[in-house]
A and B are shown apart, each in its own frame.
Chain A
Amino acid sequence: MNPSDRDATGLLTRPDEFVQLVTPTGERRADADFDPWVSDIDTAALGRLYRDMVIVRRLDTEATALQRQGELGLWPPLAGQEAAQIGSARAMRDDDFAFTSYREHGVAWCRGVGPAELLTVWRGTAASGWNPFERGIAVPQIIIGAQSLHATGWAMGAAWEGSDAAAIAYFGDGATSEGDVNEALVFAASFNAPVVFFCQNNQWAISEPVGLQSKQPLARRADGFGMPGIRVDGNDVLAVLAATRIALDRARRGEGPTFIEAVTYRIGPHTTADDPTRYRTEVELAEWRERDPLTRVLALLEASGVDSAGLEREVAVEADRAAAELRSACIAIADPEPLSVFDHVYAEPNSHLERQRAHYVRYLATFEETDAAPAGDAGTGTEGGAR
């Protein structure tokens, strides 16, 4: 993993360059700085990265279908961002900690989050699906950019405790406009926190193009905050893996935060409630489809003498199995008990809430007595907007 004792900092001042190790057509490009960081990735290991990407794409497709079939309330698809998520998350150690937004299903997959754990939130049965401390990944964040501060604080704490674990904060291009992200960058730099800011620039913040958030490559912002910034092909799993390894290595050595801009593309809608045809063109979409993160890995494996067709079949079977598991886990998620609305509001007893809860128990009991169920829907209800 760590190719030499060389100081990694020098490698991470390429904010204008587009670091790429595998081209869209699957050619391996030599890069003297980055190659050593992925020298352990032989064809077997590359096959495993390919497998990860295929599976999370398949899980994503299945979850989208589950939403369309009414089993999930909402789903934010990751399609197109597999390499950015798998490459970065596979660079993490078990004791590192990921702080993500709502789209990082691939990161969750790498952290061992199970199918039901992944879906409870989107099925609307619970506010969170997994125990962050068991998985090494915080509960997903919807408030844009808030998690970047949390990652920074976690990293500050890790450093103060003398640990060499690091945090990764995942956020989008739009998030870089929020105060929280900018404040996180200030804190991380000031306290030399072992944190990696991993920005997936997927070109769009719902309907707003990245150009509305920034007039220059996002990686260049790093310099202003006093940390190295690097711009990497986010559809190139090998380049992302190398860059994240370098950044994590810097963090572990006490060299502080790094900003990575992974240039990628959101192929699908922002969420299943969004209509991207209102704001982007077919031409743009077609261009990005050419740069698909999965096909190029398969082409590279083929060129390296691997039976790529065989691998593709084998992995597809595995992915279908994972998707079937996701589907059955989703449908098996039970509706929560009514009174669980009162659980976990406070860690300590709270008399006010106890009283409110007791009242609601009595209220529900009035229906049992009259043998009538409480009115089904709270409201007349309308369709949710595009979130």
Chain B
Amino acid sequence: MTTLTLAKSLNAGLRRALADDEKVVLIGEDIGTLGGVFRVTDGLKAEFGPTRVVDSPLSEAGIVGTAVGLAYRGFRPVIEIQFDGFIYPAFDQIVAQVAKLHYRSRGTVRMPITIRVPFGGGIGAAEHHSESPEAYFAHTAGLRVIACSNPADAFIMIRQAIASDDPVLFFEPKRRYHVKGEVDEQASLADARPMGVATVVTPGDDVTLVAYGALVQTARDAAIAAEEDGVSIEVIDLRSLAPVDYATIEASVRRTGRLVITHEAGQQGGVGAELAASITERCFEFLEAAPVRVTGHDIPYPPAKLERHHLPDLDRILDGVDRALGRPNSLSGVEA
């Protein structure tokens, strides 16, 4: 076991993937000499050379579009989109091309492309640097969407994403890049928990609380705080947003009877909406209360000085838990 930050564990995972398979190539803006603006690719160009770790021209559509061609040629491109808000120029290539080629070619063309996206807010950044665009991609058939939340998972999940024959949107919680954790650098892919499986990170009995990315830690903190209040929260790290591991969530909800979902992205059409609907369909008779979503507001990401009024924090999550439990909460006495 080594103690690594999330950024460094991703770096270690990428290094392993580059070493294990010469068809793996890293492409992105500033990822080579600079090592990426978050230093996730630090040192990799020096180690593997400029045809394995490629500084690309400033064009997101160009990066993803050429990755399609590289995949046709048998490569496994790992792309870095510098910030969440800059993925939109590449949106067409991702949803209209990458997502559909396996289907359109009747399975003959594989698109083993990994698209790394530092996502989410909480770092006091400028506009377009704190977005949560995951639902756009979860909505698109043909793409897998995953989000890591801690260094140990990051090390395994980035390698699983690269090894997958499907295109994977790989969301990295940028506000947790510098948080340390234990990483087993000898961990083998064969033994690892599959990429699409959720994890129960805090067992509990009263409420099921589902989170992903940066909010997993906030959810765990909420569970600790709730314990003092005599409420036992089971926190699930979703890990895979598409497809969702409903088995794990269902098993939990059948015991707790209550579901709270939290994410930074807006509520409307978000991942939480999908979970609430699907769990209601699957577990209606086990639910004691309607599923509750604690999410960002349906607004453009606000300026830095206002982000704490947008992002779900421990208190907002606990308020949501109170709603699910029918305890006094911000909606008490108000018709839902």
Contact = CB atoms under 8 A, between A and B. Distances in A.
Interface of A: 73-74, 102, 121-127, 142-144, 174-175, 177-180, 205-208, 212-213, 273-274, 278-279, 335-336, 338-342, 345, 352-353, 356-357, 359-360, 362-363, 365-367, 374-387
A385 to B, nearest CB: 4
B174 A382 contact: yes
A273 B268 CA distance: 33
A334 B266 CA distance: 27
A125 B118 contact: no
A222 B118 CA distance: 35
A380 B303 contact: no
B324 interface: no
Nearest to A178: B59
A341 B299 contact: yes
Interface stretch (B11-19, B83-91, B101-109, B280-288): B83-91
B96 interface: no
A278 B309 contact: no
Given A206-B29, A341-B310, A375-B315, A213 B89 contact: no
8 contacts: A144-B58, A178-B58, A335-B305, A353-B298, A382-B178, A383-B123, A387-B37, A387-B83
Given A124-B303, A207-B33, A382 B298 contact: no
Interface stretch (B71-79, B126-134, B246-254): B126-134
A169 to B, nearest CB: 16
A384 B175 CA distance: 8
Contacts of A366: 319, 329-330
B315 A125 contact: no
Interface of B: 29-30, 32-39, 55-62, 83, 85-86, 88-89, 118, 121-129, 174-179, 214, 217-218, 267-268, 297-300, 302-316, 319, 329-331, 334
B34 A278 contact: yes
Contact of A207 (B30, B61, B177, B334): B30
A360 B297 contact: yes
A382 B175 contact: yes
B54 to A, nearest CB: 10
A376 B34 contact: no
Contact of B122 (A122, A336, A345, A378): A378
Interface centre among A126, A353, A363 (most CB of B within 10 A): A363
A352 B298 contact: yes
A206 B28 CA distance: 13
Given A208-B30, A380-B217, A383-B178, A356 B126 contact: no
Contacts of B177: 382, 385
Nearest to A175: B58
Interface centre among B32, B35, B268, B302 (most CB of A within 10 A): B302
A362 B331 contact: yes
B308 A206 contact: no
A125 B127 CA distance: 11
A386 B307 CA distance: 20
A273 B129 CA distance: 13
Contacts of B268: 352
A356 B217 CA distance: 25
Contacts of A387: 37, 83, 125-126, 129
B126 A143 contact: no
Given A378-B308, A382-B123, A387-B37, A345 B300 contact: yes
Given A73-B125, A374-B313, A387-B125, A336 B303 contact: yes
B127 A142 contact: yes
B310 to A, nearest CB: 6
A124 B124 contact: yes
Given A178-B60, A352-B298, A387-B83, 20 more contacts: A74-B126, A142-B126, A142-B128, A143-B86, A177-B57, A177-B59, A206-B29, A207-B34, A208-B55, A212-B56, A336-B303, A338-B306, A340-B306, A362-B331, A378-B121, A379-B121, A381-B124, A382-B178, A384-B125, A385-B39
